[in-house]
Copies of this chain bind each other. A is one copy, B any other.
Amino acid sequence: MTAFNPAPLGIQALEHTVTFRHQDQPDISVTVSTNTLVSEAARQAGIEINQPCGGQGRCGRCAVQVTLGSVRRRSTIRLQPEDIEQGYALACQSVIEGDAVIFIPPQEKIERRLTTDRTAAEVTVPAGYEYERQQTIRRLHVQLNPPSMDDQTDDWSRLQTAVRLQHKIENLQASLPVLQKMGEALRAGDWQVTIIVDLSNVLQSLEGQQPVRLLDIQPGLRDEYSPLWGLAIDIGTTTVTVWMVDLVSGQVRAQAAEYNGQIARGEDVVSRIIFASKDSGREEMRHRVLETINTLVESLCKRTQSQPEEIVKAAIAGNSTMMHLLLGIPAASIRLSPFITAINQPPPFTAREIGLAINPEARIDCLPGVASYVGADITAGVLASGLDDAEAITLFLDVGTNGETVLGNRDWLVTCACSAGPAFEGAGMQHGMRATLGAIEEVWINHETYEPRCRVIGNVKPKGICGSGLISLLAEMFISGLLDKSGNINLSLPTKRVRQGEHGPEYVIAWGEESESGQDIVITHVDIDNLLRAKAAIYAGFTVLAEQVGFNLAEVEKILIGGSFGKYINVEKAIQIGLLPDVPWERFVFLGNTAVRGAYYALLDWQALERIEKIARRMTYIELSADNAFYEAFTSALFLPHTDMSKFPSVEAAISVKPEGLPPSA
């Protein structure tokens, strides 16, 4: 350990030695200048400190303990006087002013699991998909006349001529790296080659002179029916989903999803934007999400026994902030009034430009968004849901970190957004997890004994609770009386499952001996607070939107629910907690991840891509943050199910009966 050497009084040293003590690790010392943030000093020492709020000093979760020396605290929010006495300080809000020794508590691990999505088996190729008509990426065979002393035409002109004669492509273009490999491919294939081209421009304009990009050239005449790969990608604030698609057959061959690696630098879009606005934050955010995607792609390639270079196209959905951060475009203006995006409709890029680890020439379509808080995930979702072509007045609800809502039909479309947070995706919860093997996805609680019964994905020992499980659990706890209207846990009930835990009151869903980790699985008061805020924001969003255009929710004929876990919500229970409106169940349709599905359609069919662009132009965005009505609606919805019980007659009836929750007979 470095000798401790505080600056003498009145003499301000310019450089200080900070020693970090990190559980089970050797001490690491760095030298930093006065006023360096503790979080920055830790970064220089190579130590990861999670900053769920993006370093705003809001969440209090980056607290560290100064055990020798002192730091200057710019803010002590979320720290108790006794915490400060013990040396605790927020890493993102405290600066170094002299030598110090700082203890960094164990960081919450954001669990990384590569898994097959539950919906994997359920994706079917769109009816009538024809590779030769709808796909812009084509693999073609070309046979050239070999050169001779009588025909010294250069390779590139020779190839262009053969492609013109054999495939009626008038204006073949290529990047420098493709030109660099061309000559060897022509000779290795003895003047027979297979080329991959992008016909987007020609198909869109129906004009033969439009440039056609040569993506790849390979020696010999390759089998046209082996897979030609594409990716449909949804970059959610919390979860990134990738589908690996055979572009020839149109089939989804594998799926994978993972928490977005940016979570460690902010749980919601505003925190991410704030983090990205600092120093090297923009570059870090870009790298984090690229790493998530590239890791998913690597795993998909293994599962499909393919090479990343064989992936020649991708369509990407995601909210506007995610799209800006992926592209490394400054996002600060999204957060500040008047809330302006740098770009809603990015041009097509290559994988090389973006940094995706697939064929560097692959065409990347970043789908178009509408506004700062209604992005490409929603335009893609509207396409996937068919809302833009519906006759009936329809509400489309994306239940994710941002609760976006679209209302309308084939004649008109309005949209709004609110920040729900990541609770329903299991992130930031004590025992939250994604809907993968070991997740509790449904809960029933006995109204006499308060004993729970759980359904676990894969019928294994539970590891945690996923979004649908959280909704189910919250509803059952409320109906059984474990929770009051405000979401407080009743500690006086005669069961050991309610108790005072480290983070306040909690309810034990599974005892250590039943769980995979051997630890109790609990839901805490803090978790419940997060869930209440998330559901209140979503409910307030769609009710205010409907009011603004003069509609009553009862008049809405169909409610489409999107979002990565949206397919597994139990309607009854979602109504019981006040997440969904109390209307007849048959009006709800659960669609799952509509964003990735929309990206999948755009990947296969250039007309679907054009339709998404049309949807983006058609949608009228209504800014909720400019509206007091939203805040009032949100506050009223911060209860189970709502302050105004008359809006939830079916729930009122259920409470008065209090029957035991029963598993479905199946």
Contact = CB atoms under 8 A, between A and B. Distances in A.
A194 interface: no
Contacts of A339: 149, 152
A626 B342 CA distance: 60
Given A147-B338, A154-B342, 14 more contacts: A154-B344, A155-B333, A155-B343, A156-B342, A156-B343, A157-B343, A157-B344, A176-B328, A176-B329, A176-B349, A176-B354, A179-B329, A179-B346, A180-B328
A337 interface: yes
B176 A341 contact: no
Interface string A176-209: 1001101110010000000000000000000000
B626 A155 contact: no
A439 B179 CA distance: 42
Contact of A155 (B154, B156, B183, B340): B340
B330 A180 contact: yes
A621 interface: yes
B327 A179 contact: yes
A30 to B, nearest CB: 31
A589 B579 CA distance: 88
Contacts of A151: 338
Interface string A129-140: 000000000000
Nearest to A349: B176
A505 B183 CA distance: 47
Contacts of A346: 179
A372 interface: yes
Contacts of A341: 154-155
A149 B329 contact: no
Nearest to A150: B338
Nearest to A343: B156
Number of copies: 2
20 contacts: A149-B337, A149-B339, A152-B339, A152-B372, A154-B340, A154-B342, A154-B343, A154-B344, A155-B343, A156-B343, A156-B345, A157-B345, A173-B347, A176-B327, A179-B343, A180-B330, A182-B342, A183-B330, A183-B332, A187-B333
A310 interface: no
A353 interface: yes
A402 to B, nearest CB: 17
Contacts of A449: none
B149 A338 contact: yes
A175 interface: yes
A665 interface: no
Interface in A157-178: 157, 173-176
B621 A152 contact: yes
A355 to B, nearest CB: 10
A557 interface: no
Complex A-B, nearest 7 residue pairs according to Cβ-Cβ distance, in ascending order: A156-B343, A154-B344, A183-B342, A154-B341, A149-B338, A155-B342, A147-B340
Listed residue (A343, A346, A349, A354) with the most chain B CB atoms within 10 angstroms of its CB: A343
B327 A180 contact: yes
A148 B333 CA distance: 12
A329 B327 CA distance: 30
A623 interface: yes
A371 interface: yes
B152 A347 contact: no
Contacts of A180: 327-330
A353 B179 CA distance: 12
B148 A338 contact: yes
Nearest to A156: B343
Nearest to A354: B176
Contacts of A182: 342
A155 B344 CA distance: 9
B340 A152 contact: yes
A183 B329 contact: yes
Contacts of A156: 342-345
Contacts of A372: 152
Contacts of A347: 173-174
Contacts of A174: 347
Contacts of A147: 338, 340
A339 B150 CA distance: 11
A176 B345 CA distance: 12
